[in-house]
Amino acid sequence: MNKRTLYSLLFSIVILSTALLSCKGKVKGGGTLNIRISADPDKLNPITLTTNDARKVADLMFAALNGSNPVPDYSLTPYIIKENAKITEITEGEYKGGIKLDYEIREDAKWDNGTPITSNDYVFTIKCILNPKVNCEPLRGYYSWLADVVVDSANPLKFSVIANKKYYMIEDFAGGYVMPEYNYDSEKIMRKFAIKDMNTDAKRSALRENADINKFAMDFNSEKFQRDPAFITGAGPYRLESWTTGQELVLVKKDSWWGIAHAEDRTFWAFPKRIKVKIINDDNTAMTAMKDGSIDNYVAIKAKDFKELEKNETFKDKFNLSRIGRLGYSFLGINLRNEKFQDVRVRKAMAHAVDRDKINEIISFGESTKTESFAHSTQPHYNKNLKAYEFSPEKAAQFLDEAGWKDTDGDGFRDKVLNGKKTQLVVEYKIPKDETAKNQGLIIQEGFKKVGIDLKIVEKEWTIMVAELDKHQFEMYNMGFTISPKMSDPKQQWHTSSAVPGGSNNVGWGDAASDKLIEDIGAELNLEKRQEMNKQLQQRVHDEVPVIFLFNPTNRIASSKKFEIENIMIAPGVLYNEFKTIK
């Protein structure tokens, strides 16, 4: 099923695992790689995009200050910059108690027009994020620590990022993508504003009606910078050659890419000469395409289909099959703004009415792992004391009785008088048009019916569903969330500042106490203390049930034996730039 990005760690580069597939023959670069994504990217602007399918493509075209180390500590590595940031505490002056990060961009780092990447491009990118009319609300919330960026007057490749407070993920977010000012702001409109003019919610609010702010944002948010090959450009190894909606995107490796000079460094590997990204919504169609050789890699294969492939000797002659755990979780989101769901007893009843064991057995052939939290069950900060909401129609009925929901008219479903009006306990359940999601929904519907809840399954096209979730137009929905290999900041998903249209806290959970805990987690630099605080937050989310956690999934991957490639735990499960053809 499709998974939305939701910016778990928006700027992080995908990290490698050590699960190397064994292949025979001489490895080389070049050739064409054919991959599949399940829907058109919503946008190909790394600041404004919101879906995983978009991220998969954008990661090939844009570059960040930092890359990621393939070893298990997942440490940051230099990409656009010469070396990782030099970090010092600020001990005096206006930002005393804050942090300064010093960077220097590589001399040979160039844009596609041959001009050097400079500090001005970084400053421009930060201003894009801070511009209150640019469509990146979920991302903007991660920059509350940012005070300023100071460019070295003697060297345009050097700059310092100033943080006004301690935040354990500062280097991750400071080291994000850099976008070319010459392309995205040819009139240099954003140079009229200083970062200090935009670094708080109050300052940004005051700028919302500014003519220049709106002029820039309207252009930056426009279609041309989201999907037109003539206007999309970054510092990564690939450029967008074409995009045929609903059919295919074609990426071509740049002949003069500056990173080629650093090819011995894994951060700069880019082996395929051409990558064809085929849009195949239907899984059965995608399976057929793989079998006939039209696509070279397929991730997140359904358990049933994977079992059949494992029995197909002809297929296994051409493809490697493998399983690997995936850092992510699936869940059911509940709209707490809806009066029907504001009583936690109703939400607990709903959780007890979901038969996860049956879903796992029928849908995943027992290969998924039940989870109770937004942290992965293999991570050290996962709260192992969380008690599962096991399938129990009896407990569900008890909670609903206590909450005053009874079947007063004998129709088999519960009702209650809300605001003087008899209200049926009907739950509209939005899912993407997908066979697996539908079959899972039918199992959930069966469990809900046993306790008197009328679940109405509503299938939506993926892009339409995402837009409706952004506007909070839902009662319950099915989604997946990607988990960072390191402990991510829970602010974007669980803080009330993200419970706005377009924000990631679309269920509307949280209060002043939970916000303070989240903010304290962000400010805590001691890992052990931060882990314990994160566990406290997990407990609160678990107890109040704004979402019903389902599973940590298993990723089933098939890759053509024409290539050597590694499997990774982070979605999508492989790095497309690392597919090496075998002679």
In a domain, 537, yes or no: yes
Residue 261: its pLDDT value, please? 96
**Is residue 523 domain-shared with residue 577, that is, in the same domain?**
no
CATH of the domain at 390: 3.10.105.10
**Is residue 55 domain-shared with residue 124, that is, in the same domain?**
no
Residue 487: its pLDDT value, please? 87
In a domain, 231, yes or no: no
Contact criterion met (CB below 8 Å) for 550 and 329: yes
In a domain, 220, yes or no: no
Strands 426-432 and 454-460: parallel
**Is residue 461 domain-shared with residue 398, that is, in the same domain?**
yes
- Domain final position from 164, 193, 210: 210
In a domain, 372, yes or no: yes
What does the alpha-carbon distance between residue 11 and residue 491 come to, in Å, rounded to a whole number? Answer: 15
**Is residue 402 domain-shared with residue 485, that is, in the same domain?**
yes
In a domain, 6, yes or no: no
In a domain, 541, yes or no: yes
> What is the domain count for the chain?
3
Residue 28: its pLDDT value, please? 63
CATH of the domain at 290: 3.40.190.10
In a domain, 376, yes or no: yes
**Is residue 354 domain-shared with residue 480, that is, in the same domain?**
yes
**Is residue 518 domain-shared with residue 424, that is, in the same domain?**
yes
CATH of the domain at 106: 3.90.76.10
Residues paired with 279 in a beta bridge: 37
**Is residue 55 domain-shared with residue 74, that is, in the same domain?**
no
**Is residue 397 domain-shared with residue 333, that is, in the same domain?**
yes
Strands 86-89 and 146-151: unpaired
- Compute the Cα dihedral for 154, 158, 161, 162 and give only its sign: negative
- Compute the Cα dihedral for 325, 502, 445, 433 and give only its sign: negative
Residue 2: its pLDDT value, please? 35
**Is residue 275 domain-shared with residue 355, that is, in the same domain?**
no
In a domain, 521, yes or no: yes
**Is residue 243 domain-shared with residue 300, that is, in the same domain?**
yes
Please give the chain's pLDDT, 583 residues, in tens.
333 343 333 333 333 323 333 333 444 667 999 999 988 999 999 999 988 889 989 999 999 999 987 555 677 999 999 999 999 999 999 999 999 999 999 999 999 999 999 999 999 999 999 999 999 987 898 898 999 999 999 999 999 999 999 899 999 999 999 999 999 999 999 999 999 999 999 999 999 999 999 999 999 999 999 999 999 999 999 999 999 999 999 999 999 999 999 999 999 999 999 999 999 988 899 999 999 999 999 999 999 999 999 999 999 999 999 999 888 999 999 999 999 999 999 999 999 999 999 999 999 999 999 999 999 998 899 999 999 999 999 999 999 999 999 999 999 999 999 999 999 999 999 999 988 899 999 999 999 999 999 999 999 998 899 999 999 999 999 999 888 888 888 998 999 999 999 888 999 999 999 999 999 998 898 999 999 999 999 999 999 999 999 999 999 999 999 999 999 887 788 999 999 998 6
What does the alpha-carbon distance between residue 356 and residue 331 come to, in Å, rounded to a whole number? Answer: 11
**Is residue 307 domain-shared with residue 344, that is, in the same domain?**
no
What does the alpha-carbon distance between residue 53 and residue 3 come to, in Å, rounded to a whole number? Answer: 8
- Domain final position from 210, 225, 244: 210
What does the alpha-carbon distance between residue 563 and residue 583 come to, in Å, rounded to a whole number? Answer: 9
> 125 lies in which domain range?
63-210
pTM of the model: 0.80
Question: Which of helix, strand or coil describes residue 118?
Answer: coil
Of 308, 346, 298, 313, nearest to 559 by C-alpha is 298
Note every long-range contact of 79-88, with CB atoms under 8 Å and residues 24 or more positions apart, other chains counting: 79/13, 79/267, 79/268, 80/105, 80/106, 80/109, 80/117, 80/178, 80/235, 81/105, 81/106, 81/175, 82/106, 84/171, 84/175, 85/161, 85/171, 85/174, 85/175, 87/171
Residues paired with 148 in a beta bridge: 162
**Is residue 185 domain-shared with residue 286, that is, in the same domain?**
no
